[in-house]
Structure 1
Amino acid sequence: MSALELEKVDRNEQEQVEQIKSGKISTLLVIPENFEKELTSSSSQAGIKFYRDPAEAQTIASIEAILENIAIGYREQKLAGALASTGLNEAEVENILTAPVQIEQINTSTKQVDAISQYVPGYTVMFVFFIMITMVRRFFQESESGMVARMQSTPLKPITYLIGMWIPALLSVIIQCSVLLGFGHFVYGLNLGNLFAISTIVICLAVCGTGLGLAMAVNVKGENQGLALTQVFSLGGAVLAGLWFPFEMLPSFARAIGIFTPQYWAQTGLQNIMVRGADVSDIWQGLLVLLGYGAFGILIALLRFKYFIKTAIS
């Protein structure tokens, strides 16, 4: 395996254990001198020592699987020899050793499922909500420059001003998502599935992120507060919604909270399209949730905009 590097060493066993504790190596397999003799003996059990670094659980999982398969193979070989010694022929021995239950694995999707199908849509969704930092900064720049205060003496309506601030952010998010998903497709071979469905969920996700960005921009008291809240919302949502690792791996209490986050619905929708071949009709609930969050944010921004104008520097 290209991901594994095996090295035979003659140094002291304890020294190698210390290497694992210090993080210099991940595993140590110790085979005793009498291993072969014990393996061929019918009255004894051969033993080896397998030291492992708990911090490298994912890396060494493949090694553990290999060792387990080897142990099972030797066990079956030993059992076959014992059965043959009782007078059974080869066919009878094979019949006894055949597993009573045969498991047929059938993929329900023809699409390729791998880590890329988790990480690319996950990070695409996560980065969408960082647009809120830009929106907060833009609003406070307008406020500190006196532009917002002077707007009170013009016939410009609040909704017109908010739309003017919202549209550039919306387009920026759509372009950002297109670049990230396109990069995943052309560089890593990510299957995008139904392009119309992908485009629809990207637009709904952009509406959601920028709508919440408007609400945050007119409610926070400063850029630093906006930055802190954005990080909590973006990174916290990424964990609870399963953007960094499969949602099913989360504790039950985290999953119960995660389904209320817009990130969860966006990630689930994207993966359903990419992996399960879903179209717009299959993900309509997620689309409504994303649009609902976006509309809620825009409504809050409209209701709080008058207060934001009053706090603006003239």
Structure 2
Amino acid sequence: MIGAILLKELRKLVREKGNFVYLLIMPMVFMVLFHFLFAAGESNVKVNILDADHSPLSRQLIQVMDKTPGFQVTELSGSVQSAGQQVSNGKLSSVVIIPQGFAARVVNHQPAQIAIKSGPQASASAGVLAGVLQQIAAKLADPTRPPSPVQVKLEQASGTVSPSIATQIVPGYTVMFVFYIMITILRSLFKEKESGILERVRTTPLKAFQYMLGMWFPQVIAAMVQITVLFAFGHWLLQLQLHNYAMLFLLSLALSLCATALGMMLTMLVGSENQGMALIQLLSLGGAALAGLWMPLDMLPPGMQTLAHILPQYWAMQGYQAILFQTGNLQILWQGIGILTGIALVAILIAATRYNRFAKAESI
């Protein structure tokens, strides 16, 4: 009987042409649009700077950088090693390191170097930051003598790959639009309710949890297909480099379970289809904005960065970027998979307990 429900739901998903617009066409349009918007535009970039030189020249460089439009400077304390470790652990997206002896080398017209160490959350503007720093350092040299060559070296955290716009856009909008499958779930369940199917199912030996599983699994399959198509689209058109397909599959499965289970739970809790649509829009769009799906998380205010940790979108995005950047940070990846799966289990249990009340209640 569960198999019959599963096949019925899959046929409905294919017949409903609007599903293709919500789940595939819209995210593809958003990916292309925002990819080129981010490529052509400029955004405020948070710049973490560690001054290991503590010289008047390094202080002057930091002050000029702080006054440069488009950049927000935060000075760090501690050692160069600790700063690099924070980048590798994902606590910092990047750090600018002014090494000890920098000013002495500039004054003596010897080659000097500034390092930018970036991690898995580094934005595509890291190259722009390097260029700006190089220009500022060159202007600070003695104008009466030939300037010493100042090299700004962009380094990736150990085991990571260079950031690109696609590594933000593709997983970000994929995660965002996966949650739109909740609209499909909402409409499907309310149609079943209004047609009297739910009431008839209640008179059969089929248990509520069995019915919920039969309705749930086709949506999980649809979400997995959606994620696969969108990542393939990003790889083909936006040159997104994919890695570690096994972990991509596990994370995508956890995300699919989470998004669809939340859709089942939300549907069972609301009094009408319109109420559900409003809550879905709030969760999908609000969660996308807070969880760093639209732009790198380090560009958001600190309070929003902290709030993001309660959102499933945040854990999915962090997991995808850990895979795409090849950070080797399995802790954040498995943590994300565990949290998403845990949310899914709790949500589907709540949905199952609310099934009888939902089936009997009159829509508002």
Which whole-Å deviations, capped at 9, do the CAs of 1:179-230 have from their partners, x for residues lacking one?
A: 0011111222211210000010000000000110110111111111111000
- 1:202 corresponds to which residue? 252
- 2:144 corresponds to which residue? 79
CA distance in structure 2 between the aligned counterparts of 1:63 and 1:218, rounded to whole angstroms: 49
Partner amino acid, structure 2, of 1:136: L
Greater relative CO (CA pairs within 8 A, separation 6+): 1
Asked whether the equivalents of residues 193 and 274 of structure 1 are also in contact (C-alpha less than 8 Å), the reply is yes
- 1:107 corresponds to which residue? 156
Partner amino acid, structure 2, of 1:156: L
* Counterpart selection for 1:268 from 318, 328, 332: 318
Q: Unmatched 5+ residue regions in structure 2?
A: 1-40, 42-68, 71-126
* Counterpart selection for 1:148 from 179, 193, 198: 198
Partner amino acid, structure 2, of 1:176: Q
CA distance in structure 2 between the aligned counterparts of 1:284 and 1:63, rounded to whole angstroms: 33
- Equivalent pairs counted in the alignment come to 243
- Tell me: CA distance 1:296–1:153, structure 2 relative to 1, closer, same or farther (3 Å): same
Partner amino acid, structure 2, of 1:206: S
| Partner SS for 1:135 | helix
Per-residue deviation, 1:63: 10
1:122 aligns with 2:172: yes
* Counterpart selection for 1:250 from 294, 300, 303: 300
Which whole-Å deviations, capped at 9, do the CAs of 1:36-89 have from their partners, x for residues lacking one?
A: xxxxxxxxxxxxxxxxxx99xxxxxx99998997787677584217xxxxxxxx
Asked whether the equivalents of residues 191 and 275 of structure 1 are also in contact (C-alpha less than 8 Å), the reply is no
Asked whether the equivalents of residues 212 and 296 of structure 1 are also in contact (C-alpha less than 8 Å), the reply is no
Partner amino acid, structure 1, of 2:308: G
Which whole-Å deviations, capped at 9, do the CAs of 1:220-257 have from their partners, x for residues lacking one?
A: 11111111000100111111110000111111111111
CA distance in structure 2 between the aligned counterparts of 1:148 and 1:64, rounded to whole angstroms: 58
- 1:170 corresponds to which residue? 220
Which whole-Å deviations, capped at 9, do the CAs of 1:1-49 have from their partners, x for residues lacking one?
A: xxxxxxxxxxxxxxxxxxxxxxxxx9xxxxxxxxxxxxxxxxxxxxxxx
Partner amino acid, structure 1, of 2:215: M
Higher strand share: 2
Asked whether the equivalents of residues 243 and 324 of structure 2 are also in contact (C-alpha less than 8 Å), the reply is yes
| Partner SS for 1:106 | strand
- 1:8 corresponds to which residue? none
- Tell me: CA distance 1:147–1:281, structure 2 relative to 1, closer, same or farther (3 Å): same
Q: What is the alpha-carbon root mean square deviation over aligned residues? A: 3.3
- Tell me: CA distance 1:217–1:178, structure 2 relative to 1, closer, same or farther (3 Å): same
| Partner SS for 1:298 | helix
- 1:217 corresponds to which residue? 267
CA distance in structure 2 between the aligned counterparts of 1:164 and 1:298, rounded to whole angstroms: 12
1:291 aligns with 2:324: no
CA distance in structure 2 between the aligned counterparts of 1:207 and 1:227, rounded to whole angstroms: 20
Partner amino acid, structure 1, of 2:340: L
Give every structure 1 segment of 4 or more consecutive aligned residues whose post-TM-superposition deviation is greater than 3 Å.
62-78, 102-105, 277-282
- 1:157 corresponds to which residue? 207
Partner amino acid, structure 2, of 1:173: A
Q: Unmatched 5+ residue regions in structure 1?
A: 1-25, 27-53, 56-61, 82-93
CA distance in structure 1 between the aligned counterparts of 2:343 and 2:325, rounded to whole angstroms: 25
Q: What is the TM-score when the length of structure 1 is the normalising length?
A: 0.69
Asked whether the equivalents of residues 241 and 258 of structure 1 are also in contact (C-alpha less than 8 Å), the reply is yes
Per-residue deviation, 1:282: 5.7
Asked whether the equivalents of residues 133 and 152 of structure 2 are also in contact (C-alpha less than 8 Å), the reply is no
- 2:188 corresponds to which residue? 138
Partner amino acid, structure 2, of 1:134: T
- 2:105 corresponds to which residue? none
Q: What is the TM-score when the length of structure 2 is the normalising length?
A: 0.60
CA distance in structure 2 between the aligned counterparts of 1:204 and 1:151, rounded to whole angstroms: 29
